[in-house]
Structure 1
Amino acid sequence: MGVPAGVAQGAVLTGFDGSDGARRAVAWAAEEAVRSQCALLIVQCFEWTPPIMDGWAGVGYTTDVGGERLRQQAEQQLNEIAESTRHANPGLVVETAQLDGSAGTVLPQTAEERHAGLIVVGASGHGALARALLGSTAAELVRAARHPVIVVRGDEVDGPDAPVVVGVDGSALSDRAVEFAFEFAARHNAPLVAAHAWSDWPVGLLATAPMAPIGRDREDDALRQAVRSHVDQYATRFPDVRYELEFSRDTPALLLTDLAARARLLVVGSHGRGPIASTFLGSVSHAVLYHAPCPVAVLRGD
């Protein structure tokens, strides 16, 4: 079962493997598709390696009987989740596709072919199995996909005061993250928190000698003003979005993970290279994927 030819471009694409985490991801993706007024495409990636059976005279042969049965069972689950999603979201166009290959390869390719707006995948809790699943799917997607990738983990904080949190470092990739965060906040009528931490800036960007308190204060003021100016250029485009700035002498990953405890979405880039950038976005995106208690959006550089 390939990708339906009628799926509208700009659809929200979500991966589905039958797990509870994937079901939460489908529900999250469906809500976003409704808010974005676009279609939802649920993709099931099927991988099957037939076992080698003992044949006559010691010659091995393979059988695909088990694989076909698993494919049919998986397709039934896919059809059921699509039908329940349509029922829960009247008017939403929901299409499905069962494609051969790994999610880390198939989902980015399908997103490119269909010009999808988002890729949404699920992640389970914080145990060893969840880390293994994240490492094999979500982290691979973040590395490979040129589209924004949403990893739905934990419980999304609901309510009018639950903010969208975005990491800011002044790089071109940070621009994409900030713009995405403002657009998402506008769709959800949510406030926004733009966060910046600078305790792990490269040493070359700081004075080589210990900074006097007044010098450090001036440096802090300059950084705050740079971040404020950076965010303001997007705030003017989204005047209905209430936003605030959060600064901290902390590691960026710790700051963002702490703010994520009350967030409906955390937005980060996968790299950061800019005039006020450090390692803020890069290893940080990897860290929050594992530890943030809310859905995480990761935007990768070209």
Structure 2
Amino acid sequence: MTRTHPLSEGRGGVLVCFDGSEGAHTALWWAAAEASARDLPLVAAQSFEWDLPSLHAVDEHGEYNERLLRENAEQDLNRATGECREAFSGLTVFFATPDGPPEVTMVQLADQLDPVMVVAGASGRGALARMVLGSTAAELARRVRQSFVVVRGEPPAADAPVVVGVDGSDNSERAVDFALDFAEYHRAPVRAVYSWTDWPLEAYATAPPGQVGLTHVDESTQALAKEQLDTAAARHPDLGVDWEPVTERPTHALLDRAEGARLLVVGSHGRGPVTRALLGSVSHAVLYHAPCPVAVLRALDRDEEPVREDTVPGAEGLRTAPPRGST
């Protein structure tokens, strides 16, 4: 039988969103490999969003359908997480089945568990599978405070690099730190891409009078970005980091270099309440079009606090299933 554990046991691990789709299974295995590499617990969560008025309108028959639907979905999740546990020796795997829309419950779970990353597949069920990015993943990218990874593409080559966009901004610093940490866990090289068209607005405000031309802005922002990268790289002395300044639009530069990459990492710019509703144009474009997994680190407001509910509806605890074949 399944065992129930407090939510705290999954804190600081890897949280993956699951809906039974092919993309979700791919994301689950990717997340399991990442959790195993870091010796962290894996938490797989599947949300249940019920159409309560219609269910209650058909009384007992509707109640039974809801129960049966949940049982079948939990069996699928139990089976998938059990396979991950068998494949990755020593991996601790939990699952949770909260009630509510995933773009709400996953954010709540992330705030409670404070995972090192939240992972989702690139597409969902039905018509969403024909899209480059499923609507739930797109919404989570706008709401999740933690590092958010959308998984797509083929397994990378052994020497596949981690590609990161660098521009010298505060949010770029989050992206660089995440990219280098990720690369170190996987012993992968890093390609840091700086595009001269991707300037933080502060560069214009701090330029000396009469020196707001293209040359000054490019030199000052490139120096800031390079210093940001060098500072982070000093904490990873055994990591190979290539600095690549380019005169291309950042979206084109990053998408071109994402071919065959292990991971593409970007920060998402924005300020004020808009940050919570929109992604920057570069992060939005790479989420929809990158050929490899993409990590987005959203800009955070200083006054933005995590939503720390005491419990997530339907997910008062994490569960583990018995080993396959046991009774």
TM range (shorter): 0.7 to 0.9
Match of 2:11 in 1: 9
Identify the match of residue 195 of structure 1 among 193, 196, 206: 193
1:23 correspondence with 2:22: no
Distance apart, 1:128 and its partner CA: 6.7
Aligned partner letter, 2:156: V
CA distance in 2, matches of 1:133, 1:247: 29
Match of 2:141 in 1: 142
Unaligned 5+ runs, structure 2: 272-278, 301-327
Higher relative contact order (CA 8 A, sep 6+): 2
Identify the match of residue 172 of structure 1 among 164, 170, 173: 170
Q: What SS does the aligned partner of 1:285 have?
A: helix
RMSD, matched Cα: 3.0
Distance apart, 1:103 and its partner CA: 1.4
Q: Is the 8 A contact 1:3 1:97 kept in 2?
A: no
Match of 1:44 in 2: 46
Match of 1:256 in 2: 254
Aligned partner letter, 2:101: S
Q: Is the 8 A contact 1:14 1:121 kept in 2?
A: yes
Distance of aligned partners of 1:228 and 1:48 in 2 relative to their CA distance in 1, 3 Å threshold: same
Distance apart, 1:114 and its partner CA: 1.7
Aligned partner letter, 1:37: D
Match of 2:240 in 1: 242
Match of 1:265 in 2: 263
Q: What SS does the aligned partner of 1:73 have?
A: helix
CA distance in 1, matches of 2:226, 2:64: 61
- How many residues get paired? 282
Encode CA deviations 1:111-154: one digit per residue, 9 max, x unaligned: 111222211110149x9734768352112111111111110012
Matches within 5 A, 1:91-110: 91-110=90-109
Distance of aligned partners of 1:222 and 1:301 in 2 relative to their CA distance in 1, 3 Å threshold: closer
CA distance in 1, matches of 2:116, 2:267: 16
CA distance in 2, matches of 1:27, 1:16: 11
Aligned partner letter, 1:291: H
Matches within 5 A, 1:265-284: 265-271=263-269, 282-284=280-282
- TM-score calculated relative to the size of structure 1: 0.84
Distance of aligned partners of 1:85 and 1:175 in 2 relative to their CA distance in 1, 3 Å threshold: same
Encode CA deviations 1:8-67: one digit per residue, 9 max, x unaligned: 42110101111111111011101110111111011111112157489xxxxx65522222
Q: Is the 8 A contact 1:164 1:193 kept in 2?
A: yes
Match of 1:33 in 2: 35
Match of 1:276 in 2: none
Distance of aligned partners of 1:218 and 1:48 in 2 relative to their CA distance in 1, 3 Å threshold: closer
CA distance in 2, matches of 1:66, 1:51: 14
Q: Kindly, what percent of the aligned residue pairs are identical?
A: 47
Distance of aligned partners of 1:38 and 1:189 in 2 relative to their CA distance in 1, 3 Å threshold: same
Matches within 5 A, 1:76-115: 76-115=75-114
